[in-house]
Structure 1
Amino acid sequence: MSSVSGYKKQQGIALVLVLWVALLMTVIAGSFALSARTESVQSRILFNQVQAEFLAEAGLNRAVFELRNPDPETRWIADGRPYEFTMNEAKISVQITDESGKIDLNLANEELLVGLFASVGVEFDEALALSDKIQDWRDPDEEVRLAGAEDADYFAAGYAHGAKDAPFDTVPELLQVMGIDYALYRKIEPAITVYSGRGNLNLAFAPKEALMALDGINAQMAEDYVNQRHEIFDMGAELPILLEGQSGSLRSGSTTFSIIAKATLPNEQWAELDATIRLGGNVRGRPFQIIRWRDNKNK
């Protein structure tokens, strides 16, 4: 009897071991399946992201193509209006702004700079001081304007650098000017450039934020003007009058443009790029040159 009991006991232990092994194999197989599924999902997300990025770049190239369109009645107008089209079932939105419509940090006079800061709520005295500091930053001399700042002022305030005493090379360089913090910079960024090459605004392409820097133009007037301008589709047409006879021409733009292109896939995954380009071929045979590039994407 004892041998039979022992045999049954061994069978029971063996059965428990088999069940445990089966359970362990099930867990391992499930882990592999979950890992494989996770990798598949991640691969699909990565593939979609790359696809969206390439489609956004296609939007930029389409914008360049339309800007070179010789027909003024169908050429895309670079005044910030949105253009939309589809490609590979993705929705692509493109906005183009001629840089001549923005305030050039290197050439804008005091009145325009003060108006720029005043338009975002900066008090007049402080706006005047910021204008002086910008002019001291870009001019070649060491003479300090009334509320400006040169090297000694920067070092005394704890900056590791002095005034540049040379033109701005990029828009973000403005953050190095005394008194310009990131919050203020973000408010005025849509209105400023270093690429227009002119001291005034081309009203035909100026964004709302730049128009508000003009004396006597408030937010509502600027928005109304932009909306009226967006109703014009022929570059040969006359523009509306802004104030006191001020107007502009859609034919008098530059060759430098800021382009925002966003591609959204059917699953709502998207990618966006914000670039500044200059028309004109380069050594690689491209019809334009990229002089600034910034991209964004959902993750």
Structure 2
Amino acid sequence: MTTAPMILDARACARRGRPSARQRGVAFVLVLWVIAMLAILLGSFSLVARTESLQSRHLFDSTQARYAAEAGLNLAVFELRKSDPVQQWIGDGRPYVFNYGDAKIEVRITDDSGKIDINAADAIRLTSLFMTRGLELDQAEAIAAAVIDWRDPDDDAQPNGAEISEYKGAGLSYGPKNAPFDTVSELQQVLGMNYALFSALEPSLTIYSGRTDPNAAYASTPEALMATGCEREQAEQLIQLRQGMSTAEIAAAGLTGCDGTSPIVAGGGGLTYSVKSRATLLNGASTILDATIRMGGVSVAGRPFVILRWRDGETS
């Protein structure tokens, strides 16, 4: 008589000890959430690891390319110091390409005597230079006068020039330096100058030659030659022709400047050079080193040249 109730109680207990369908569903969802969280954590870790790997690779490539570009600069100095004019590299902006390890290096050297010296050029030469970029005569004359007012020691404004009152009238908190330019980039502070104009002219400018006119044998930009009276097409043709010849060939060919009479002699430059060295690795990473050096003597670092300007790390 007691067997049936006992069986019923056992079945009830069994039902109470077994999880319900609702409980099983909640547990399944929790398991899915845990798996999702683990997947997110693993993905985040993988992304961080990949990012750090790419950063390390970029740093390695940049460093390798930078030192390869510096090797190009040192080779340029070595080639410029050669006494044989046939083997000596010419500083007229022509490219010299060679391999260094896994890097391809292109070096361009410009003798700064072929540039416009903004500390020495007169108003006529500066006006001609600014007009090469499309400025009207009155605007070019005003900027040229402002350049002279910036570098001269007095406070007397040139005709159409700019001294302290003109700078204040333009809302600027500074005035002309009344001293020579210390860097080419300082030209951007002159009243009337803008970044677009400066960027277009910067390769044609220097503060190191001391010449009133650029040396046509080394001018590497049309603007530098156009400032001396060349037409743009004439200047481009002269540069192209000259860069395809050696020093001896230039002398033998009897090349002349834009006036048709002044001979071009590629042997009477200065000791200051602007060197642009681009190193490109096999994977496409590249770095540009842009420096101005002065040959002669031995620097503190033991180099046979002195660094006057140094800009590197420009990558593409």
Q: 5+ unaligned residues in a row in structure 1: which ranges? A: none
Is 2:275 aligned against 1:264?
no
Instruction: Tell whether 2:308 aligns with 1:291.
Output: yes
Q: Which residue of 1 aligns with 2:237?
A: 224
What secondary structure sits across from 2:165 in the alignment? helix
C-alpha separation in 2, matches of 1:26 and 1:118: 64
Letter of the 2:227 counterpart = A
Aligned amino acid, residue 247 of structure 2: D
AA at the equivalent of 2:186: E
* SS of residue paired to 1:51: helix
What is the CA-CA distance between 1:247 and the residue it aligns to?
2.8
Are positions 1:210 and 2:224 aligned together? yes
Please give the alpha-carbon distance, in whole angstroms, between the structure 2 residues aligned to 1:74 and 1:253: 17
2:292 is matched with 276
SS at match of 1:295: strand
Deviation string for 1:174-193 (max 9, x for gaps)? 11211111122122212111
Q: How far, CA to CA, are the matches of 1:177 and 1:120 in structure 2?
A: 17
How far residue 14 of structure 1 moved from its aligned partner, in angstroms, is: 10
- Taking structure 2 as the reference length, the TM-score comes to 0.86
Q: Which residue of 1 aligns with 2:5?
A: none
Matched, 1:166 2:171: no
Larger deviation, residues 78-87 vs 22-31: 22-31
Give the gaps of 5 or more residues in structure 2. 1-10
Give the Cα separation in 1 of the matches to 2:74 and 2:107: 10
User: Structure 1 251/156 Cα, relative in aligned 2: closer, same or farther at 3 Å?
Assistant: same
Quote the offset at 1:156 in angstroms.
2.8
* Structure-1 separation of matches of 2:315 and 2:14: 69
Q: Which residue in 2 is equivalent to 1:249? A: 265
Q: Hey, what does 1:131 align to over in structure 2? A: 144
Change (3 A) 1:29 1:211: same
Which of residues 231, 240, 246 in structure 1 aligns to 2:255? 240
Cα distance in 1, alignment partners of residues 12 and 99 from structure 2:
82
Superposed displacement of residue 252, structure 1? 0.6
Residue 226 of structure 1 aligns to a residue whose secondary structure is helix
% of aligned pairs identical? 46
Report if aligned partners of 1:73, 1:236 keep a CA contact under 8 Å in 2: no
CA distance in 2 between partners of 1:79 and 1:3 (Å): 100
Contact 1:83 1:95 in 2 (8 A): yes
- Residue 111 of structure 1: aligned partner: 124
- CA separation in 2, counterparts of 1:186 and 1:90? 29
| From 19, 29, 42, the counterpart of 1:9 | 19
5 Å-filtered alignment, 1:182-201, equals 182-201=195-214
How many pairs are equivalent? 298
Letter in 1 for 2:300: V
The Cα shift of 1:283 comes to: 2.5
In the alignment, does 2:57 pair up with 1:44?
yes
Q: For 2:279 and 2:186, locate their aligned partners in 1 and report how far apart those are by CA, in whole Å.
A: 29
Post-superposition shift, 1:155?
A: 2.3
Q: 1:163 to 1:2 in 2, by over 3 A?
A: same
Aligned to 2:41: 28
| Higher Rg of the two aligned structures | 2
RMSD of the alignment, in Å?
A: 2.3
Shift of 1:213: 0.9
Q: Does 1:61 align with 2:74?
A: yes
Residue 102 of structure 1 corresponds to 115
- Structure 1 residues 168 and 31, CA, compared in 2 at 3 Å: closer, same or farther? closer
- SS of the aligned residue for 2:127 comes to helix
Secondary structure of 1:9's aligned partner: coil
Whole-Å Cα distance in 2 between the matches of residues 2 and 99 of structure 1?
A: 102
